[in-house]
Structure 1
Amino acid sequence: MAEAPLPANQHPELSPPPYSLGQMVLYFLKLGTWGFGGPIALVGYMKRDLVEERGWISESDYKEGLSLAQLAPGPLAEQLAIYMGYVHYGTLGATLTGLVFPLPAFLMVLGLGWAYTIYGGLPWMQAIFYTVGATVIGIIANSSYKLTVKTIGQDWLFWAIYIVSAAVTVITESEKIALILAAGVLVWLVKAPPKQWRPKRLSSFAAVPFLPTLMAVPVTDPGILWQIFTFFGKAGAFVFGSGLAIVPFLYGGLVNELQWLNSEQFVDAVAVAMITPGPIVITVGFIGFLVAGLAGAIVATLATFLPCYLFTIIPAPYFKKHGKQPGVAAFVEGVTVAAIGAITGAVVVLGKRSLVDIPTVIVAVVTLALLLIFKKKLPEPLIVLVSALLGLVIYPLTHPAL
């Protein structure tokens, strides 16, 4: 495959990619159905399946997509999925992959939202989440380990950036976009001095940061659906990183300010996101359903994912065109390393919330050990299913009040 190919529909003279658009769409439909573990695990699956095993996407294209997903606000895994669809099939590919990837999880959370509304809660979910949360930590720890080993290498500068980024994420419990950008600038200055960079070639990026202002229009319509659209639109446009970053934003707005949910309902919504496949941010569909039924679920989901779609396809052509310039390539390398450090830090942050006692620690360690030993032979969905069943047995024993 040619290095960093442009979309085939823009350059028909290029040889066709080794896969059809239908195959790529089907892959993301399956990943959205069986891809457990949240954004950290999902980006790892994409690298394993599309780059290493099938050879559909080049290593450089994957790194560019991951960097762009970290630079732009919105859910990490969804943005990377959109970019993977864009690589060879342009805007059409990006649109289709962006639509089908979260669709299975969206349908699942609709069903859970219906059950939650009818039966007044999901008490059994505590038992399932008790062990599934620990299993998820093991899965994302494995994905983080593989990303680290394959990306960082022996470069001392990369290791320094990686460690700092991971430490900051653990301390602040959030991903810092300023730190990620600074890492890109540092690597650019060290590995590709400014004299090799032509700033005018990246001038088109200047328009991108102003796009979030479109989502900040004051709310004038008191209608609940418009309120949902503007709130979740801002969440998608201003929150960087994975579900870890969007959860505090959602909690402050939904529980403290708007008071659409109470604390217990919000925790249940996060639990739903963790036990369903696909992007963790799909919890917005569950929340929207609780607030305004089916229409609320649809509006909340569209509002959250629309900004990340725009922030991916708009700068994508410039990433494809100028990504191999020495300065840009160095900047992307720095951003990628910092992003992986942040992902590793997120594993620790999530672990502190999910590994609450000895049984959950054992579940996480066993999950990680199994994945390291059996590698590709043990499917993650099977591990999650077994963990859920195990939770139904263990939780009543460790929590007699259930």
Structure 2
Amino acid sequence: MSDAQAAPRYTLWQLVRYMLGLGSWGFGGPVALAGFMYRDLVEQRQWIAEAEYKEGMALAQLMPGPLAAQLAIYLGYVHHRVLGATLVGLAFVLPSFLMVVAIGAAYRAYGGIAWMQAVFYGVGASVIGIITMSAWKLTTKNIGRDKLLWAIFAISAAVTVVTKSEVVWLFLGSGVLVWLLRAPPPWFSRGQANAVAAPLAGFFALDALDWHKLGQIGAYFAYAGSFVFGSGLAIVPFLYSGVVQEYGWLTDRQFVDAVAVAMITPGPVVITTGFIGYLVAGFWGAVVAAAATFVPCYFFTILPAPYFKKHGKRPGIVAFVDGVTAAAIGAITGAVVVIGQRSISDATTAALALLTVAVLWRFKKLPEPVVVAAAALAGLLLYPLARG
């Protein structure tokens, strides 16, 4: 492991180019994106050690903000520290940001995106299949036959399905449980246990009550990025309460379209904040909203990263990370059910999701963008029939 850290098999610019590509074609939301990073960087290229990937996943789950972006930032930090984290994070987010700005301009110019309902009809169902395969790969690779981790996985999945959210205290508790059972510290064995665990949060929240609209946008989305735990669509209910109900910046229809834009564009789902910002205050609104959302998660990743790098190989930390990882994968699996309830609305979309799983199972090297493009065409063809 130390040899790999001292002499990485890749350059920073190779990793930046990879993240630019992933941000340009990586469909499926945070679950799929995390799966792509594991497949490409750990299994195929072997640029990142599996232990380092698991550390990044654990950190991304513990800290508030978008999971996929935080994982990408941490992987950039692994061998290239702050410069790597910064450039990789920008490369990962920039392509999807430019796409949502362009779509936002078209949306404002032409008064809505009617065709998007048809595209999302097909893509949304196909994405469920992609996420299902990613969740299956993560589960079989990281949990194996470990009964304790399977129990944590099952509980986390069930809680996610029931609450329709990811509970950070469940991640923390799972990590502490595995740590205390498998690598207990001396004070625990002496019966002197003290439980003190809480993630960093909130130092980017701002008071926006009397600011100009850009200031309001920046403050609100910084608050969202600082306090919302979970990945991808977990931020959507929080955004709805602010941009629709509290500020009245968007109508219900516009907000639903904003979520659809995030789902049919590659890259992190949270980039929907850029689209919302564009609708509220044009280009600079998009810049402020996206930056305010991602800057907190950047700091929440690079600040604790040195401690993960320095102490991550200790038995207690390894056990803690195993517990958090099992809970995180359980939550990801539960999210498949939650998102599926929103995206699979009839027999046609159910068939598309199952067909996606079958195709990816049979043709393991088939690029996901090809599957998504085919699903988009299927949606354009089938949506009028389904609604006719």
TM range (shorter): over 0.9
Partner of 2:381: 393
Unaligned runs of 5+ in 2: 189-195
- Answer whether contact 1:28 1:100 (CA < 8 A) is retained: yes
Deviation digits for residues 201-227 of structure 1 (CA, Å, limit 9, x no counterpart) = xxxx98x945x3322332254200000
Deviation digits for residues 255-282 of structure 1 (CA, Å, limit 9, x no counterpart) = 1111111111111000000000000000
- Answer whether contact 1:4 1:320 (CA < 8 A) is retained: no
Query: What residue identity is the alignment partner of 1:353?
Result: R
Partner of 1:25: 16
- 1:277 has 2:260 as partner: no
One of 364, 372, 384 as aligned partner of 1:375: 364
**1:327 deviation in Å?**
1.0
Deviation digits for residues 125-150 of structure 1 (CA, Å, limit 9, x no counterpart) = 00000010000000000000000000
Partner of 1:10: none
**Other structure's SS at 1:240 match:** coil
Q: Distance in 1 between matches of 2:345 and 2:178?
A: 38
CA RMSD in angstroms comes to 1.6
Written as runs of structure 1 = structure 2, the 5 A alignment for 1:345-364 is 345-364=334-353
Q: Distance in 2 between matches of 1:321 and 1:55?
A: 21
Written as runs of structure 1 = structure 2, the 5 A alignment for 1:95-244 is 95-195=86-186, 209-210=199-200, 212-219=201-208, 221-244=210-233
When residues 336 and 196 of structure 1 are mapped into structure 2, their CA distance, relative to the original with a 3 A threshold, is: farther
Query: Percent identical across equivalent pairs?
Result: 63
- Answer whether contact 1:3 1:60 (CA < 8 A) is retained: no
Query: What residue identity is the alignment partner of 2:118?
Result: A
Deviation digits for residues 369-399 of structure 1 (CA, Å, limit 9, x no counterpart) = 11011112x1100111111111111111111
One of 307, 311, 326 as aligned partner of 1:337: 326
Deviates more, 1:64-73 or 1:216-225: 216-225
- Answer whether contact 2:208 2:220 (CA < 8 A) is retained: no
Q: Distance in 1 between matches of 2:287 and 2:279?
A: 12
- 1:48 has 2:36 as partner: no
Partner of 1:11: none
Partner of 2:49: 58
One of 245, 250, 258 as aligned partner of 2:234: 245
Deviation digits for residues 264-305 of structure 1 (CA, Å, limit 9, x no counterpart) = 111100000000000000010000000000000000000000
- Answer whether contact 1:102 1:279 (CA < 8 A) is retained: yes
- Answer whether contact 2:206 2:220 (CA < 8 A) is retained: no
- 1:303 has 2:292 as partner: yes
Query: What residue identity is the alignment partner of 2:41?
Result: L
When residues 277 and 196 of structure 1 are mapped into structure 2, their CA distance, relative to the original with a 3 A threshold, is: farther
Deviation digits for residues 70-115 of structure 1 (CA, Å, limit 9, x no counterpart) = 0000000000000010000000000000001011111110111001
Partner of 2:255: 266
TM-score normalised to structure 2 length? 0.96
Deviation digits for residues 4-47 of structure 1 (CA, Å, limit 9, x no counterpart) = 83xxxxxxxx3x21111110000000000010100000000000
Q: Distance in 2 between matches of 1:217 and 1:293?
A: 21
Query: What residue identity is the alignment partner of 1:2?
Result: S
- 1:290 has 2:271 as partner: no
**Other structure's SS at 1:277 match:** coil
TM-score normalised to structure 1 length? 0.93
One of 372, 378, 383 as aligned partner of 1:384: 372
Partner of 1:8: none
How many residues matched? 382
**1:3 deviation in Å?**
6.9
Deviation digits for residues 213-260 of structure 1 (CA, Å, limit 9, x no counterpart) = 322332254200000001000110001111121011001111111111
Query: What residue identity is the alignment partner of 2:371?
Result: I
Query: What residue identity is the alignment partner of 1:247?
Result: V
Partner of 1:75: 66
Partner of 2:193: none
Query: What residue identity is the alignment partner of 2:45?
Result: R
**Other structure's SS at 1:101 match:** helix
